Structure 1
Amino acid sequence: MATVEECRAALEKLAAKLAANAVEAREKLDFDRSLACRITDLGIAFHGQLQNGQITGLSEGDDPRAKIKLTSTSDDLVALVAGQLNAMSAWTSGRVKIEAGVFDLLKLRKLL
């Protein structure tokens, strides 16, 4: 099981990846949505804002009103961000759950 610090680091790494590819990410994710990431085996959550293809304001705690919610185990989150777990197969198999509106899911799929 990954630690809280490893999960935080994975989310910060994801935010850095998106920031490094800001132009490309902005083209794929041209919206502003609240984001929550719930880590089931640790009983923690992180939240932030997905703006113009970048994650901003990442902090610990849940946001029950988030427009996009990702739920996974700590190990799956770390593996997903590290590229060791295929996002599409993890999502279709139920290892990673994504709750979002239909149009948001279509846009997020571009990243998967």
Structure 2
Amino acid sequence: MATITECRAALDTLSDNLARADGDVRGAAAFDRTLSCHITDLDTTITGRLADGRIEVVSTVPGPPPGKAQIRLAMTGDDLVSMVRGDLNFAKAWASGRVRLEAGFRDLLRLRSLL
């Protein structure tokens, strides 16, 4: 089971990858939205912002998300680490229910190029 430290490191890696992206991916990530990632097996939520093509972590709190972020993810720590490493395809994980993504319709349209 992935630790919270490994999950935070995975989000940092994802943020670095988004910051280095070009073209459509860079454009899709370059908007300002609140973000929460509930790590279900650790019952911990990492909150932050997706801003200027980077994920800025604000806090790590026990339990489910304390508020309703504009983009909400939920998954196990192992799945988060596997997706960032490239071992798990986000679309397949989402379609099978391993990953939950909730966002407004416009945000989903922008995010689809990241997936």
Both structures adopt the same fold (TM-score exceeding 0.5):
yes
2:11 aligned with 1:11:
yes
2:54 aligned with 1:68:
no
5 Å-filtered alignment, 1:1-112, equals 1-21=1-21, 25-61=25-61, 62-112=65-115
One-letter identity of the residue aligned with 1:69: R
SS of the residue 2:2 aligns to: coil
Unmatched 5+ stretches in structure 2: none
Unmatched 5+ stretches in structure 1: none
CA contact (8 A) 1:22 1:53 kept: no
- TM-score, scaled relative to structure 2: 0.87
Q: Post-superposition, which runs of at least 4 consecutive aligned residues in structure 1 deviate over 4 A?
A: none
Partner Cα distance (1:78, 1:57) in 2: 16
Cα-Cα RMSD? 1.7
Deviation at residue 63 of structure 1 after TM alignment? 4.5
Q: Among all aligned residue pairs of Structure 1 and Structure 2, give the percentage whose two residues are the same amino acid.
A: 49
SS of the residue 1:42 aligns to: coil
Deviations 1:51-96 (A, max 9, x none): 1322124431344221000000111111011110001000111100
One-letter identity of the residue aligned with 1:97: R
One-letter identity of the residue aligned with 2:87: Q
Partner Cα distance (1:84, 1:94) in 2: 17
State how many pairs are aligned.
112
CA contact (8 A) 1:22 1:54 kept: no
CA contact (8 A) 2:37 2:74 kept: yes
